[in-house]
Structure 1
Amino acid sequence: MSRTRWRLGLGATALLTATAVLPAPAQAATVTDYTLTVDPAAQGAAIDDTMYGVFFEDINRAADGGLYAELVQNRSFEYSTADNRSYTPLTAWTVDGTAQVLNDAGRLNERNRSYLSLSAGSSVTNAGYNTGIRVEAGKKYDFSVWARAEAATTLTVTLQDAAGPLASARQVAVKGGWAQYRATFTASRTSSYGRLTVASPAAAALDMVSLFPRDTYRGEPNGLRKDLAEKIEALHPGFVRFPGGCLVNTGSMEDYSEASGWQRARAYQWKDTIGPVEQRATNANFWGYNQSYGLGYYEYFRLAEDIGAMPLPVVPALVTGCGQNKAVADDALLKRHIQDTLDLIEFANGPATSTWGKVRAAMGHPRPFHLTHIEVGNEENLPDEFFARFRQFRAAIQATYPGVQVISNSGPDDSGTTFDTAWKLNRDAGVDMVDEHYYNSPQWFLQNNDRYDSYDRSGPKIFLGEYASQGNAWKNALSEAAYMTGLERNADVVKLASYAPLFANEDYVQWRPDLVWFNNHASWNSANYEVQKLFMTNTGDRVVPSKASLTPSVSGPITGAIGLSTWATSAAYDDVRVTAADGTALFGDDFSGDASKWTHTGTGTWAVQDGRYVQTDATAENTMVQAGDPAWHDYDLHVKATKKSGKEGFLVAFGVKDTGNYYWWNLGGWNNTQSAVEQASDGGKSTLVSKAGSIETGRAYDIDIKVRGRQVTLYLDGQEWGGFTDDRAAEPFRQVVTRDAATGELIVKVVNAQDSAARTAIDLGGAQVASRARVTTLAAAPDAVNSETNTPVTPVTSTLSGVSAKFTYTFPANSVTFLRIRQR
């Protein structure tokens, strides 16, 4: 597309130098006026080089089938129905002839227990991940296998798809006990549907059947998929947090043994993941699949080193999280885990002559990795139990390695009883840094830009280790960008921040949204990735104080209809009444007849039974039925509810506008461990208030909700349970200014998350600046989503002329804009 001139405000013109132009929805006809004033003589918070980083967890097949470049799935025949009900030891394999998977004394080693016994004249074929094994014409692929055969035999190894061979076949001579054999393919065609076949004319045993692209990231053997690792590198992250997440503190904390099982949902422990890959354990992943640990702690440290990032490992504290909520009471086991953590630090930092430094050196890295931070625990919902164990970890680490900072956490939410208790414990104990996690709606991120403005400057620092706005549309990324201006403004408190999760394989998704999407042949950046990259590559060294005007707003009372729902629970509802503030009856249903007043908008099965409205499916989620007038306001809602069976309690909705916008009181949520009021906005949910508590099966509860203006009070069995006032503005215009010491530039960062353009009078406080500035703009329709074939959210670079100490710039609708202005 040819270069185009486009008017960008009053007295300023930009020359677009990118090949793309801003989409039409971003060039809205309506304009809102703002002011932005900068004080270049004042100093704001210093911003550390490690401010922004990435968080890697093996979720959505992010490791095997993803960042780990191995092309063979279930290469060691260790898949098991104990890991996943659909698995067998031959998952991803097809046998032609006769073969069986054995687990006996003939195994390769104690950690790699299953192997394939292939009968004479038989073959076995692997289907890889996604549609198959991906190969590219002219590139090399390294095959290896551990094999044994009592009588000499020659394995024939082929790579093909439905159209025929993808490379010349290879012959591998095998004789004697277990040994590793290698061969190399050069692909003759490109295909995403490849299959790897190993055939033998005589009986043979096979294990660790592997195929790696030669072209891994930085050419490393047992390496990383190049395009995915390069997307991490392109962010220039200051740190890499690994390996989780929920898989760190879920499952058994025990050692592998015959008694406990060898791959039975064991918590992630670093010693399982180092050394020769054929001697590493395999394990059931918390997210529902098997993990090979071919991508282990050594590889994580190498990745961090290669991209110039700080490694930040997370170790379990013997309190499970992510819905399991169990504290392990075993002093000997606790001491072993504490010692494992000390050993980890020695593995990372010890000299090559130390016990664990020697292991690192033997793997090919005699130099230390310079570990400075380590996190203990992740999202524990039992703060007292967690913190008692955390103290012991911290004391041992500080006694042996006083230079290593130990990070704690505040549970899985941005507020609530667990959060408050955890923060008090952390604050009272003088913890250095606390990891906060939250996944909220775009509206929440627009409403809470000032979250860290009021945090104690002398208290623990913040590691925002996981956050996202529950979607990969541009409106989600816009809200995150607006929030990040608040993170930078508070860089004296918020020291580390990472979006989560990082990767998603489009055919194996357990969690949305995700930063980078991929399949077996391509990867693409989400809109959220483009925002993260823009901030991470234009951070600056120090905040320059600035102020901006706010968007005029009009706020009325909470309005909406009512709803009933359940989540993995069967429940019965009765005696539903809605009464106006003046006592006028607006709605009533005692279910003495039918359910014609209600509209079923969710899942599940509803029916009137014995004068109650019953949802009978104890497995269905979000079973919403709605009734009433969306224009209702200032009313009282009464419901009688009884749990019949299932995992949770009741969901009583109010302020219901449609299926994606409402409030509900979630009683007995989170596996019946707590209750909360959640607000849904465009489908994304945020927690407004929460408390610990559970719902009893078979007991009838009286639920009352009083709505007055924007204030809500909630009553359970006649007693006030809590309340909230939802009066925070979702401000769409946010900004922060930083200075880049190396270039002498002011970086003016503006987010305009609304459908009107923002004509902004910018006052640089008398600063002497160059007349031209570099501009990077991200703009798109709010619902735009990047995909493999279409990336509407793409940065556009331009040059702005007419810059001075005072100038006007019009920021496009639904945009993120960075102006780099050089000071003279």
Structure 2
Amino acid sequence: MPRIRTRLAGAAALLVSLPLAVAPPVSAAAAEPDYSIRVSPDATGPALSKQQYGVFFEDINYAADGGLYAELVRNRSFEFTATDAAGFTGLTAWTPTGAATVVNDDQRLNERNRNYLKLTGPAAVTNAGYDTGIAVRDGATYDFSVWARTDAAGGAPLTVTLRTSDGAALAAPLRLTAKSDTWTRYTGTLRATGTSDRARLTVDSRGAGTLRLDEISLFPRDTYKGRRNGLRKDLAEKIEALHPGFVRFPGGCLVNTGSMYPYDAANGYPRARSYQWKDTVGPVETRATNKNFWGYNQSYGLGYYEYFQFSEDIGAMPLPVLPALVTGCGQNRATNDPALLRQHIQDALDLIEFANGPVTSTWGRLRADMGHPKPFGLTTVAVGNEENLPEEYWANFLQFESAIKAKHPDITVVSNSGPDDQGGTFENLWAKNRSHGSDMVDEHYYNSPAWFLQNNARYDTYDRNGPKVFLGEYASLDAKFSNSLAEAAYMTGLERNADVVKMASYAPLLANIDNVQWKPDMIWFDNDESWGSTSYQVQKLFMNNVGDRVVPSTVSGGGVVRPRPITGAVGLSTWRTAATYDDVKVTRPDGTVLFSDDFNDGDADGWTAVQPRGTWTATGGGYAQTDTASEDTMVKAATITDTDYDYTLKATKQAGAEGFLVAFGVQETGNFYWWNLGGWNNTQGAVEKGVTSAKEQLLTKPNTVETGRTYDLKVQVRGTRVTLLLDGVEWGSFDDNAVTEPFAQVVTTDTKTGELIVKVVNAQDKPAVTRIDLGGRKVATTAKMTVLAGDPGEQNTRTAEPIQPVTSTVRGVSADFTREFPANSVTFLRIRTR
């Protein structure tokens, strides 16, 4: 049955909310419906898979160390270096007392754990944990361990204490003795006698001689499911409460960035290497740490074994992502080394053996030795992540897929479509995947709330017989409830197209509030608390009420919110690049000058910084930004209220990593457009639409900018349509004219409970009176209703979580009834059929 598109008039509909009111049933005579939902009486829609929704874990925002991984000691093996982040040393997070130095010599613990702490004579070290300190809870037990060796006759006594930052005791001291000059693991427990989120762990040696220490560790005994080397309980339980169908891990950008060469202690291992699974298994003290792409050190204490185990614990399918030897995330490099490619392909085969192989196999034996003789039952692997070099990626993917299918024909191998929802790379890779008949294609995009409300029908026209879609990463670009409403509306389209979109995961999953590299994020935490964002509540509602089959339905009524013309200030910016701009002019189509600046007077009085970044100077008859380290240095001028205008300028790159950023339609709200030439390390051009601090791409194509060459640039704006000219030749065009549809719905069945699940999203500032025709089905007169509603500008924070689900029983349900859905709300009605 064809789907009738929804309509609703009024552009203010997305901006303001009314107070939440769980409305009683409304009769058709009492109010004329704004919308009508009609459920097919007999048609059967696509099945919903057990993996319809899942979670994507990446070690970003300190999500692993200091986050989901329950280890409380930061830099436990003294491996931090300045390569990880500026200012990092082997003693980062540690305060030494006495003769304490970090050493890398032949006395080390092992070849992969190279640094250790050397104490001479009476000395001590104190660890401050993550952020404000180590969080301990009164009455809780904490497991301490350390690897130690000493040359002191009779051994070296150790005293281990937990204290507040001002010195108050939080546990009785633990006393141990290092007994020999052979590396030995010593363990003990500390029982907290107080509660603090600012505790400090001190290891004190009063003995003589030399004492060597490594892998100083403190774990809460109460980890998730009580596992050793386990997970932080509150975070793991919040993920479990989602009931995800799969866990995608370990990334993300950290999978396919950095050196693709493996750890090699003998020949100088790459410190910033891509995530390679063999680095992360076996005893934790033998796992080499690595520079994280997101700007810190990762210990790999949370590794592939722990990911598989966690997936099993929460009943989710594990979905590992492997590097394809083509970097992404703006690096855009391919490794041309056939031997290295063969090695990574073998690593992929070895991973499957680690997950599924018998205990008599090499890697199956390691899994068993780690505590899991039974296979994990791996069924799906992904190769690559957001590669923007489609030819190089595709050549490597085919080799991975061929090798995997030859040995494991039942394994689903997931390909990908690049870093965005459209553009040259996206179209190229999708064409290749369709022609090849790939199992599944991973799509990623982060866009504005309006985009999600404009693209509910995105998958309606996908080939039903082509590769299936894995929406591996998506989110609306902010953390307000308005963003979550837009995501919820979009998810109704994902479910309606469940025959194409087989899996979807919001991203990222976790963020430490004190260490944020990316937002929005689903679950936030500090060192002792955690809270779900408004998007967490939306995701939880959908994941806990998927159903098992879609029931075709249509919606009619209402209207649409139409786009406004592109007006606002013009701007100039750079990204890690020095550039000079000149002869800036804005004119009407008839040539009337609205603004011009040739900078010949040596000043730039008409320009103001959007953010105080970079070094801008009017000099030599041009406007130059000379700092090659600063990112997003935008300055703006001349607010344009005309809907039709031409913006022209000259641009010259002087030095640096990228090219030019020419902004237009710059609004005080933080919204803007910019033409990005020479972006992504001077490999791609794009038009990006900025939404506060984030951006979505409207147009992309390969592009480079030559240093020292002057380019003539023109941005021609006609209402919502923009044409871009580079040296007088059309470079590209777009029309940002999509309409916004703030009302969405989908209906599914749950055969186990015998219920219809009616899911309605009303992302506007007024209630929506809606007739619901269930196609003549006999249903109970009551239903379970769960509602998320509130101010669209609201957020859930550490101090308050105002957006919470409210569940109630509603009456007056029938085969044809009317309900009023609250303003700015997500409503799930579970209706028992008879």
Q: Report TM bin, short chain.
A: over 0.9
Matched, 1:252 2:256: no
Matched, 1:380 2:396: no
Matched, 1:727 2:737: yes
Matched, 1:601 2:610: yes
Q: Match of 1:10?
A: 26
Output the TM-score relative to the length of structure 1. 0.95
Q: Match of 1:713?
A: 723
Residue from 150, 157, 161 that aligns with 1:158: 161
Q: Match of 2:689?
A: 679
Partner deviation per Cα, 1:47-66 (whole Å, 9 max, x = no partner): 10101001111111111111
- Rounded to whole Å, the distance in 1 between the matches of 2:476 and 2:32 is 26
Q: Which shifted more, 652-661 or 764-773?
A: 652-661
Contact 2:23/2:821 (8 A) holds in 1: no
Deviation at 1:460, TM superposition (A): 0.8
1:684 to 1:320, Cα distance in 2 relative to 1, 3 A:
closer
Matched, 1:810 2:820: yes
Deviation at 1:90, TM superposition (A): 0.9
SS at the partner of 2:77?
Answer: coil
Partner deviation per Cα, 1:167-212 (whole Å, 9 max, x = no partner): 1111112211111111111111111111111111223111111111
Q: Match of 2:592?
A: 584
Deviation at 1:562, TM superposition (A): 2.4
Residue from 280, 288, 303 that aligns with 2:287: 280
Amino acid of the structure 2 residue aligned with 1:169 = P
Matched, 1:303 2:310: yes
Q: Match of 1:21?
A: none
Contact 2:689/2:695 (8 A) holds in 1: yes
Partner deviation per Cα, 1:402-448 (whole Å, 9 max, x = no partner): 11111111111111111111112212221110111111111111111
- Rounded to whole Å, the distance in 2 between the matches of 1:348 and 1:74 is 29
Amino acid of the structure 2 residue aligned with 1:129 = Y
Residue from 702, 721, 729 that aligns with 1:692: 702
Matched, 1:464 2:471: yes
Deviation at 1:163, TM superposition (A): 4.7
Deviation at 1:587, TM superposition (A): 2.8
Partner deviation per Cα, 1:94-125 (whole Å, 9 max, x = no partner): 11111111111111111111111111211111
- Rounded to whole Å, the distance in 2 between the matches of 1:677 and 1:628 is 21
- Rounded to whole Å, the distance in 1 between the matches of 2:605 and 2:104 is 60
SS at the partner of 1:454?
Answer: coil
Q: Match of 1:121?
A: 122
- Rounded to whole Å, the distance in 1 between the matches of 2:617 and 2:270 is 44
Contact 1:630/1:657 (8 A) holds in 2: no
Q: Match of 1:23?
A: none
Deviation at 1:263, TM superposition (A): 6.0
Contact 1:416/1:689 (8 A) holds in 2: yes
- Rounded to whole Å, the distance in 1 between the matches of 2:21 and 2:765 is 22
Q: How does 1:542-621 map to 2 (within 5 A)?
A: 542-549=549-556, 550-593=558-601, 594-603=603-612, 604-621=614-631
Aligned Cα RMSD in Å?
Answer: 1.8
- Rounded to whole Å, the distance in 1 between the matches of 2:679 and 2:276 is 30
Contact 1:659/1:683 (8 A) holds in 2: no
Matched, 1:168 2:167: no
Contact 1:155/1:199 (8 A) holds in 2: yes
Amino acid of the structure 2 residue aligned with 1:633 = T
Deviation at 1:340, TM superposition (A): 1.1
Deviation at 1:5, TM superposition (A): 8.8
Deviation at 1:554, TM superposition (A): 4.4
SS at the partner of 2:373?
Answer: coil
Amino acid of the structure 1 residue aligned with 2:58 = E
Partner deviation per Cα, 1:629-658 (whole Å, 9 max, x = no partner): 442112222222222222222222223333
Partner deviation per Cα, 1:292-314 (whole Å, 9 max, x = no partner): 11111111100000000001111
SS at the partner of 1:272?
Answer: helix
Q: Match of 1:96?
A: 97
1:139 to 1:724, Cα distance in 2 relative to 1, 3 A:
same
Q: How does 1:137-156 map to 2 (within 5 A)?
A: 137-150=138-151, 151=153, 152-156=155-159
Amino acid of the structure 2 residue aligned with 1:580 = R
- Rounded to whole Å, the distance in 2 between the matches of 1:363 and 1:7 is 55
Deviation at 1:816, TM superposition (A): 0.9
- Rounded to whole Å, the distance in 1 between the matches of 2:303 and 2:761 is 38
- Rounded to whole Å, the distance in 2 between the matches of 1:510 and 1:566 is 20
Q: Match of 2:203?
A: 198
- Rounded to whole Å, the distance in 2 between the matches of 1:128 and 1:703 is 51
- Rounded to whole Å, the distance in 1 between the matches of 2:763 and 2:751 is 29
Deviation at 1:801, TM superposition (A): 0.9
- Rounded to whole Å, the distance in 1 between the matches of 2:752 and 2:86 is 56
Q: Match of 1:622?
A: 632
Matched, 1:772 2:782: yes
Q: Match of 1:17?
A: none
SS at the partner of 1:119?
Answer: strand
Deviation at 1:497, TM superposition (A): 0.6
Amino acid of the structure 2 residue aligned with 1:373 = T
Partner deviation per Cα, 1:527-559 (whole Å, 9 max, x = no partner): 111111010000111111111234244455433
Q: Which residues of structure 2 form unaligned runs of 5+?
A: 1-19
Contact 2:160/2:175 (8 A) holds in 1: yes
Q: Match of 2:768?
A: 758
Q: Match of 1:26?
A: none
- Rounded to whole Å, the distance in 1 between the matches of 2:183 and 2:560 is 74
How many residue pairs get matched? 804
- Rounded to whole Å, the distance in 2 between the matches of 1:686 and 1:484 is 19
Deviation at 1:154, TM superposition (A): 1.5
Contact 2:33/2:771 (8 A) holds in 1: no
- Rounded to whole Å, the distance in 1 between the matches of 2:694 and 2:54 is 24
Residue from 726, 731, 746 that aligns with 1:736: 746
Q: Match of 2:219?
A: 212
Contact 2:39/2:775 (8 A) holds in 1: yes
Q: How does 1:373-522 map to 2 (within 5 A)?
A: 373-522=380-529
Q: Match of 1:24?
A: none
Contact 1:31/1:757 (8 A) holds in 2: no
SS at the partner of 2:179?
Answer: strand
- Rounded to whole Å, the distance in 1 between the matches of 2:268 and 2:163 is 37
- Rounded to whole Å, the distance in 1 between the matches of 2:560 and 2:451 is 18
Deviation at 1:804, TM superposition (A): 1.3
- Rounded to whole Å, the distance in 1 between the matches of 2:23 and 2:490 is 28
Matched, 1:534 2:541: yes
- Rounded to whole Å, the distance in 1 between the matches of 2:22 and 2:531 is 29
- Rounded to whole Å, the distance in 2 between the matches of 1:659 and 1:762 is 38
Partner deviation per Cα, 1:316-354 (whole Å, 9 max, x = no partner): 111121122211111111111111111110111111122
SS at the partner of 2:79?
Answer: coil
Contact 1:31/1:758 (8 A) holds in 2: no
Contact 1:660/1:684 (8 A) holds in 2: no
Contact 1:102/1:115 (8 A) holds in 2: yes
- Rounded to whole Å, the distance in 1 between the matches of 2:474 and 2:625 is 33
Q: Match of 1:222?
A: 229
Q: Match of 1:133?
A: 134
Amino acid of the structure 1 residue aligned with 2:192 = A
1:763 to 1:682, Cα distance in 2 relative to 1, 3 A:
farther
Q: Match of 1:370?
A: 377
Deviation at 1:89, TM superposition (A): 0.7
- Rounded to whole Å, the distance in 2 between the matches of 1:115 and 1:810 is 65
- Rounded to whole Å, the distance in 2 between the matches of 1:695 and 1:75 is 45
SS at the partner of 1:387?
Answer: helix
Contact 1:140/1:187 (8 A) holds in 2: yes
Q: Which residues of structure 1 form unaligned runs of 5+?
A: 13-29
Contact 2:23/2:819 (8 A) holds in 1: no
Deviation at 1:684, TM superposition (A): 4.0
- Rounded to whole Å, the distance in 1 between the matches of 2:65 and 2:41 is 49
